[in-house]
Structure 1
Amino acid sequence: MLQFTFLGTSSGVPSLTRNVSGLAIHLNKSKDWILVDAGEGTQHRIQQAKLSLQHLKAICITHVHGDHCYGLMGLLASAGMNGRKEPMIIIAPKEIQQWFEATCQFTELFLPYPIEFLDVNALTQPYELNESISIEPIQLSHRVESYAFGIKAIQTQRKLNVEKLAQLEIPKGKLWGDVQQGQNIEWNGRTIFNQDLVIETTQQVYAIVGGDNDQPNLLAQQCKNADLLIHDTTYTQAVLDKVGAGPMHSSAKMVAEFVESVKLPHLIATHLSPRYHDEQGIQTIHDEIAQHYRGQFFVANDFDRYELNADGDLTLIDSGKPWEK
């Protein structure tokens, strides 16, 4: 149901193999997508991932630190230069709107499409992007206000009630096709309503995309209903112990112990310190998670694509493998 394309998985600064934070999320079989965070260089990653700014429906910014938002203004400008006319929804701290307004003033930025800013701190209930997707902000713990976004996808499938059609002796052909298209039909001198001839099933998945955070347990309530957590694993525990509490990030051990405690089925680790960007470093993060978590997990690379299907199963469908590029 949901697909996740990692546009940037580094913390703080980019490296040769990893850009700073950016994540594209879209509902299967739809061109529309959501962007969570837009670090510097994100629009280049969007081009490389063959995503269209014309189909970008919403941008969610977790917090104001530059590795999560410095690419936003250029991205918005490029969307305008490419002829975008549709409104853009931005869910972000209010400071992002102030920065945008100052940028427009001082750099003569003019956008030919409207921006609808939603102050993430003021959202008291999930925002319904459309009939299939809702976005729920969840406050975290960091040096500045930081948020996770819970993304809920709902999928309704309709199939013909073959037994009912046979019982009413409705012949196959045009009438069945009309029912499949959602129409009421006339049969034997009476109207038969569409809802009486189809079976509807609704499935949903819920994924949480975290911003920077040093207290994974703040997500405990939401994780009870979640299928997937994507979270900051900036350091190993040994390095975090040396660095100290000041940066306010999570270690791989902290996150692994948390998701194990809430029995979350799937984890994707991201936001890695540049000290872990080679194959050995990635393995170190992987091994620390494996020591403390028995569920399915991945350590994300730039351009990795994952699919969370309607049954809540997570699959890596395309690997970036930065050390092989």
Structure 2
Amino acid sequence: MLRTPLSLHELRAIFVTHVHGDHCYGLPGLLASAGMQGRKAPLEIVAPDGIEEWVRTTLRLTRTWLAFELNFHAVESLDEWRGGNLRVEAVALSHRVPSYGYSFTEARPDPRLDIDRLDRHGIPRGPLWGQLARGIDVQHEGRTLRSDDYLIFGRPPRRVVVGGDNDRPELLAEACRSAQVLVHEATYTQAVANDARADFGHSTATAVATFAQAAGLANLVLTHFSARYQADPKRGPCIEDIRAEAAAAYRGRLFLAEDFARFRLVRDGELQRIECGR
């Protein structure tokens, strides 16, 4: 993160997909860095069972004391997580250990107050209206008024689905309804899978691309590539083999993830890569 414009002070929550080391070993170090930078605000962590014990034990054994609170949420019992203008839901996937994907959905896209409904329900103009407009539930005459019940949204919400390690992309079908972006692993090509060199629990580029095309997803970001795929085709299997295989089955906007790459999902559903310095 030191090589990005992101700040550990602004980090609201961390979502962990599963317990394998390449997906969680960096967490204690990140937390320690946040502490060294003077973070004080609590941090939410949504993760599979066992992560909390491991993180707290690691911090204790390494004598790492944080000046901010860690609030863990077990993904196995998570119904929904809300923070700011985001609603996050988890989906169980298929891997060698319990693995999860997460859908990130705008909670209040272009909201405006439903004045007619407020007047019909006798909600007086004033501070209550302001709180409801900001997405805050309020108390009035002994009852709870949910902000979503008094807001009109100007457009459909944007939704991004991020899958953890998973050999059955179709498990994300429901989460991908109305989504504009799927970020999913494509560890290897179908040729490697057919050659019986593929690890159980991962997806091929063909499998993910075929699913994304059938689901009508406008944008697909592939990631988590096997180290066997190199940039130079002369050295063996090439990362462009993954791109070509996916492009043969998928007609939307296709991206291969790179370290430090940044994207913007604009309101019309187009995923745009942000160039460095912008």
TM over 0.5: yes
* Equivalent position of 1:118 in the other structure: 73
Distance 1:91 1:200 in 2: 28
2:57 is aligned with 1:102? yes
Task: State whether residues 203 and 310 of structure 1, in contact with CA within 8 Å, keep that contact through their aligned partners in structure 2.
Answer: no
> CA-to-partner distance for each residue in 1:28-63, whole Å, 9 max, x for gaps?
xxxxxxxxxxxxxxxxxx010121100011011100
Match of 1:241 among 174, 189, 194: 194
1:208 positional shift: 0.2
Q: 1:275 to 1:294 in 2, by over 3 A?
A: same
Task: State whether residues 205 and 310 of structure 1, in contact with CA within 8 Å, keep that contact through their aligned partners in structure 2.
Answer: yes
Distance 1:235 1:139 in 2: 22
Distance 1:315 1:57 in 2: 23
Greater strand share, structure number: 1
TM-score, length-scaled by structure 1: 0.68
Match of 2:243 among 286, 294, 305: 286
1:210 positional shift: 0.7
Match of 1:90 among 25, 45, 48: 45
1:304 positional shift: 1.5
2:98 is aligned with 1:145? yes
1:243 positional shift: 3.7
Distance 1:213 1:200 in 2: 34
Secondary structure of 2:264's aligned partner: strand
Task: State whether residues 192 and 198 of structure 2, in contact with CA within 8 Å, keep that contact through their aligned partners in structure 1.
Answer: no
* Equivalent position of 2:211 in the other structure: 258
* Equivalent position of 1:187 in the other structure: none
2:270 is aligned with 1:316? no
1:78 positional shift: 1.1
Q: Which runs of 5+ in 1 are unaligned?
A: 1-45, 159-181, 183-198, 320-325
Secondary structure of 2:73's aligned partner: strand
Secondary structure of 1:278's aligned partner: coil
2:11 is aligned with 1:56? yes
1:203 positional shift: 4.5
Distance 2:204 2:66 in 1: 40
Aligned residues: 235
2:86 is aligned with 1:129? no
Match of 2:109 among 155, 168, 181: 155
Mapping of residues 28-43 of structure 1, within 5 Å = none
2:174 is aligned with 1:221? yes
1:202 positional shift: 4.5
Task: State whether residues 156 and 203 of structure 1, in contact with CA within 8 Å, keep that contact through their aligned partners in structure 2.
Answer: no
Match of 1:78 among 7, 17, 33: 33
1:157 positional shift: 5.7
